[in-house]
Amino acid sequence: MKSNRATQEPRWVRYTLLTVGLGFLLLFLGLPLVAVFVEALAQGVPLYVEALKEPETRSAIWLTVAIALAVLPFNVVFGVAAAWAIAKFEFKGKSLLITLIDLPFAVSPVVAGLVFILLFGAQGTFGAWLAEHDIKIIFAVPGMILATLFITFPFIARELIPLMQSQGKDEEEAAVSLGASGWQMFRRVTLPNIKWGLLYGVILSNARAMGEFGAVSVVSGHIRGETNTLPLHVEILYNEYNAIGAFAAASILALLALVTLVAKTIVEWRMKKETEMLNTVLAPEKT
Amino acid sequence: MPAKIHRVLPGFGLALGYTLVYLSLLILLPLGGMVLKASELGFAQIIDIATGERALAAFRVTFGASFLAAAVNAFFGLIVAWILVRYPFPGKRFVDALVDLPFALPTAVAGITLATLYAGNGWLGQHLEPLGIKVAYTPLGIVVALTFITLPFVVRTLQPVIEDIEIEVEEAAASLGASRWQTFVKVIFPAIFPALLTGFALAFARAVGEYGSVIFIAGNLPLISEITPLLIISKLEQYDVLGATALAVVMLALSFLLLLSVNVLQWWTANRHKNNEPLEVAAAKASGATA
């Protein structure tokens, strides 16, 4: 880094800004993160382990994982399909479509749950028909999957669209003109190009899917051992003044968040490295 | 009619068709159903419900707390983004990664942790309450929770823009006799202002809809510390589906307006960027020549 008096703040300003900025982060990010684990271990390790062994906590963990796994393939297929259409082709209404994909970011999770109650709930549009055929969607796992899909579908698409736009379509066009089938082109050219971006989107959408609270809470009905995901279980334990149990369950989710941050940082680093490599390879051609 | 363009790449019809069908089933049908349900009430009655005493108080709390949280983040986010881009300090990469914590940490975890920290016997609450500052179970608690949840937005929108500022422009300002403060106010701040506003709007939009983290720390007293998403849920639990729907539709309309303004802001930012392009190109050439 070059130090230049003219373009640097005086020393006391630099130190003040560093203190204020880092102090703010410590107060709002560092302290809560530490507190989760301290509270979970407040009564010692044995009680912590005991709390995690509770059958209801374990079934909540499993349901959380199961919903995340159920949602994943839908989000991957949608993300790739939407990004392929938007990044590689021109068509009318494209910006409207992009806005539509952004929509869940602006809709309250509570509203995202409510819309499915209005469709599939007892008094909902399809409520009577579903009851007749004995199909349960609301206050059952299918409704929770739908609400999670609603909340998480944009993540992968939002990651892939700019990436695929920046890569252009020359490589794919070359593959097709050399006689590759659509599937061969996708598998050998597109997929290797987007794999880090795709992984990045998967990490983000998975974190949201496992942590989602509001939307899932509205449609779950909170049936213990059946429709309780881990975040919902945290709420129940906390409201029962079972602080150890609540924070033990919360610590699992906090660990998941830390794993997410590490994975995200590694993928970001890989993507940066790959673009740099590409740039050094392409640089001599350009001059 | 223009001639049909021959597309070299395959899969356009399939990809777009799948995207549209999927979006229609998952997003448009449910949202349309909700608007249809609300239309049973009629416009006048929706307004009536949304301007009832309790609903109005909830909107005031929700939007007021969201505005304050976004403002807090705009101020501190600018400082955080600035030190992350410009100043070297130990553990910087760790701090940089940690900024995304609120995106990764489930909101319920944030809610119970903040409530415990700021409660009367909590790490922070026990020092604040003797000073007469009650945070947990008051509207101030809502602001704290929303500040945590929306912390990354301003930092992450500002970082790339600050990185893009050319040092040459600052050098020019300095060589023309500007003090560092003048350079910041007249050169740097105007360049990053659109991004700051975008980050503020994104944080505000996210905060308005937030539910999970807030309910644990808010106290949830009607008229005082009850947010609109919670009011929707309590109406739903009292089987007042129409009332819940009316509030949800009003929230949805407001979210649309926010999303629209964010898009306009981003377009504005992109356009400003475009205008700067010749300068950037010149600077790149200059630095390339000296390298």
pLDDT single digits (tens) B248-267: 999 999 888 887 887 787 77
Tell me the pLDDT tens digit for each residue of A153-199. 999 999 999 999 998 889 999 999 999 999 999 999 999 999 999 99
Q: Which of A35, A116, A260 sits opposite B113 (nearest CB)?
A: A35
Neighbour count for residue B11 (Cβ, 10 Å)? 20
Task: For tokens 């119970």, name the residue.
Answer: B112
Q: Indicate if the pLDDT at residue B68 is higher than 90.
A: yes
Q: How far apart are CA B211 and CA B45, in angstroms?
A: 26
Q: Which helix (H) or strand (E) holds A80?
A: helix A55-88
- The answer to whether B148 contacts A115, with C-beta atoms less than 8 Å apart, is no
Q: Which of A78, A207, A260 sits opposite B19 (nearest CB)?
A: A78
Q: How far apart are CA B115 and CA B108, in angstroms?
A: 11
CATH number at residue B50: 1.10.3720.10
- Chain A positions in Cβ-Cβ contact with residue B262 (cut-off 8 Å): 106
CATH 1.10.3720.10 is held by the domain A44-286:
yes
On whether residue B59 sits in a domain, the answer given is yes
DSSP B28: I
Query: Does A7 or B110 have the greater pLDDT score?
Result: B110
Q: Which of B12, B87, B123 sits opposite A85 (nearest CB)?
A: B12
Q: Indicate if the pLDDT at residue B86 is higher than 80.
A: yes
Sequence-distant (≥ 6) Cβ neighbours of residue B281 within 8 angstroms:
none
pLDDT of residue B277: 46
Percent residues over pLDDT 70 in chain B: 90
Q: Where are the alpha helices (DSSP H) in chain B?
A: 12-23, 29-39, 43-50, 53-86, 92-98, 101-104, 107-118, 125-128, 139-149, 151-164, 167-175, 180-183, 189-209, 212-218, 228-237, 241-275, 277-290
- The answer to whether B236 contacts A260, with C-beta atoms less than 8 Å apart, is no
Query: A159 and A197 in contact (C-beta within 8 Å)?
Result: yes
Nearest-CA neighbor of B258 among B63, B71, B107, B45? B63
Q: Indicate if the pLDDT at residue B112 is higher than 70.
A: yes
- The answer to whether A21 contacts B211, with C-beta atoms less than 8 Å apart, is no
Q: How far apart are CA B173 and CA B156, in angstroms?
A: 27
- The answer to whether A257 contacts B109, with C-beta atoms less than 8 Å apart, is yes
Q: What is the average pLDDT across A83-100? A: 91
- Chain B positions in Cβ-Cβ contact with residue A217 (cut-off 8 Å): 211-212, 233
- The answer to whether A250 contacts B113, with C-beta atoms less than 8 Å apart, is yes
Q: Which of B9, B94, B237, B263 to mutate to test the interface with A (most CBs of A within 10 A)?
A: B9
Nearest-CA neighbor of A83 among A163, A188, A152? A163
- The answer to whether A118 contacts B34, with C-beta atoms less than 8 Å apart, is yes
Query: B225 and B219 in contact (C-beta within 8 Å)?
Result: yes
Residues belonging to chain A? 287
From A104's Cα to the closest Cα of chain B, the distance in A is 9
Q: How far apart are CA B194 and CA B268, in angstroms?
A: 7
Query: Does A54 or B264 have the greater pLDDT score?
Result: A54
- Chain A positions in Cβ-Cβ contact with residue B254 (cut-off 8 Å): none
Q: Indicate if the pLDDT at residue B2 is higher than 60.
A: no
pLDDT of residue B6: 58
Q: Is the pTM of this model over 0.80?
A: yes
Query: Does A198 or B284 have the greater pLDDT score?
Result: A198
- Chain A positions in Cβ-Cβ contact with residue B236 (cut-off 8 Å): 114, 117, 218
How is A107-119 classified by DSSP, letter by letter? S-HHHHHHHHHHH
Q: Which helix (H) or strand (E) holds A154?
A: helix A154-167
Q: Indicate if the pLDDT at residue B93 is higher than 50.
A: yes
B91 pLDDT band, cuts 50/70/90, is very high
Query: B34 and B249 in contact (C-beta within 8 Å)?
Result: yes
Amino acid letter, A19: T
Chain centroid, CA A143 distance in Å:
19
Residue B79 token pair = 């400082």
Q: What is the average pLDDT across B109-120? A: 96
From B50's Cα to the closest Cα of chain A, the distance in A is 15
Chain centroid, CA B17 distance in Å:
31
Calculate the dihedral angle through the C-alpha atoms of A243, A244, A249, A251, rounding to the nearest 10 degrees.
Answer: 100
Compute CA distances B251 → A112, B185, B236, B240, whole Å: 12, 37, 15, 17
- The answer to whether A110 contacts B263, with C-beta atoms less than 8 Å apart, is no
Q: What is the average pLDDT across A256-272? A: 94
Domain count of chain B? 1
pLDDT of residue A5: 62
- The answer to whether B112 contacts A246, with C-beta atoms less than 8 Å apart, is yes
Q: What is the average pLDDT across B91-102? A: 95
> CB-based burial of residue B211 (10 Å sphere; 0-12 exposed, 13-18 middle, 19+ buried)?
buried
Percent residues over pLDDT 90 in chain A: 78
Q: Indicate if the pLDDT at residue B166 is higher than 90.
A: no
Least confident segment among A1-10, A121-130, B225-234: A1-10
Q: How far apart are CA B68 and CA B204, in angstroms?
A: 9
On whether residue B281 sits in a domain, the answer given is no
Give the range of the structural domain holding residue B109, as residue numbers without chain letter: 44-275
DSSP B4: P
Q: How far apart are CA B215 and CA A238, in angstroms?
A: 12
Strand, helix or coil at A207?
A: helix
Q: What is the average pLDDT across A141-146? A: 96
Q: How far apart are CA A52 and CA B31, in angstroms?
A: 38
Residue A18 token pair = 């560093």
Q: Which of B101, B108, B116 sits opposite A29 (nearest CB)?
A: B101
Q: Which of B83, B183, B209 sits opposite A109 (nearest CB)?
A: B209
pLDDT of residue A3: 47
Q: How far apart are CA B188 and CA B192, in angstroms?
A: 6
pLDDT of residue B278: 44
- The answer to whether B9 contacts A20, with C-beta atoms less than 8 Å apart, is no
Cα end-to-end distance, chain B, whole Å: 52
pLDDT of residue A46: 94
- Mean pLDDT across chain B: 88
pLDDT of residue B274: 56
Percent residues over pLDDT 70 in chain A: 96
Query: A111 and B252 in contact (C-beta within 8 Å)?
Result: yes
Domain-by-domain residue ranges, chain A?
A: 8-40, 44-286
On whether residue B287 sits in a domain, the answer given is no
How is A239-251 classified by DSSP, letter by letter? HTT-HHHHHHHHH
DSSP A229: -
Sequence-distant (≥ 6) Cβ neighbours of residue B92 within 8 angstroms:
B84
On whether residue B76 sits in a domain, the answer given is yes
Residue B141 token pair = 């608690």
pLDDT of residue B288: 39
> CB-based burial of residue B29 (10 Å sphere; 0-12 exposed, 13-18 middle, 19+ buried)?
middle
Q: Indicate if the pLDDT at residue B38 is higher than 60.
A: yes
Q: Indicate if the pLDDT at residue A1 is higher than 60.
A: no
Nearest-CA neighbor of A113 among A129, A132, A137? A137
Tell me the pLDDT tens digit for each residue of A151-166. 999 999 999 999 999 9
pLDDT of residue B275: 53
Tell me the pLDDT tens digit for each residue of B134-162. 999 999 999 999 999 999 999 999 999 99
- Mean pLDDT across chain A: 91
- The answer to whether A30 contacts B110, with C-beta atoms less than 8 Å apart, is no
- The answer to whether B18 contacts A204, with C-beta atoms less than 8 Å apart, is no
From B220's Cα to the closest Cα of chain A, the distance in A is 14
Cα end-to-end distance, chain A, whole Å: 27
- The answer to whether A115 contacts B101, with C-beta atoms less than 8 Å apart, is no
From A63's Cα to the closest Cα of chain B, the distance in A is 16
On whether residue B15 sits in a domain, the answer given is no
pLDDT of residue A15: 95
From A263's Cα to the closest Cα of chain B, the distance in A is 10
Tell me the pLDDT tens digit for each residue of A226-244. 899 999 999 999 999 999 9
Q: Which of A118, A148, A187, A202 to mutate to test the interface with B (most CBs of B within 10 A)?
A: A118
Q: Which of A28, A38, A137, A267 to mutate to test the interface with B (most CBs of B within 10 A)?
A: A28
Residue A263 token pair = 């994975």
Residue B206 token pair = 């996210």
Least confident segment among A147-151, A218-222, B60-64, B109-113: A218-222
From B15's Cα to the closest Cα of chain A, the distance in A is 5
pLDDT of residue B268: 78
- Between CA B133 and CA B135, with CA B134 as vertex, the angle to 5 degrees is 110
Q: What is the average pLDDT across B48-77? A: 96
Compute CA distances B78 → B199, B226, B265, whole Å: 10, 30, 18
pLDDT of residue B146: 97
pLDDT of residue B214: 96
Q: Indicate if the pLDDT at residue A219 is higher than 70.
A: yes
Q: What is the average pLDDT across A54-83? A: 96
- Chain A positions in Cβ-Cβ contact with residue B240 (cut-off 8 Å): none
Q: What is the average pLDDT across B242-247? A: 94
Sequence-distant (≥ 6) Cβ neighbours of residue B81 within 8 angstroms:
B154, B155, B158, B159, B162
Q: Which of A182, A262, A265 sits opposite B10 (nearest CB)?
A: A182
Chain centroid, CA B73 distance in Å:
10
Query: Does A267 or A95 have the greater pLDDT score?
Result: A267
Tell me the pLDDT tens digit for each residue of B124-137. 999 999 999 999 99
Nearest-CA neighbor of B212 among B77, B105, B101, B73? B105
pLDDT of residue A122: 86
Residue B144 token pair = 């704290």
Task: For tokens 């304050």, name the residue.
Answer: B68
Compute CA distances A174 → A160, A161, A181, B13, whole Å: 21, 21, 12, 20
Q: Which of B28, B82, B123 sits opposite A35 (nearest CB)?
A: B123
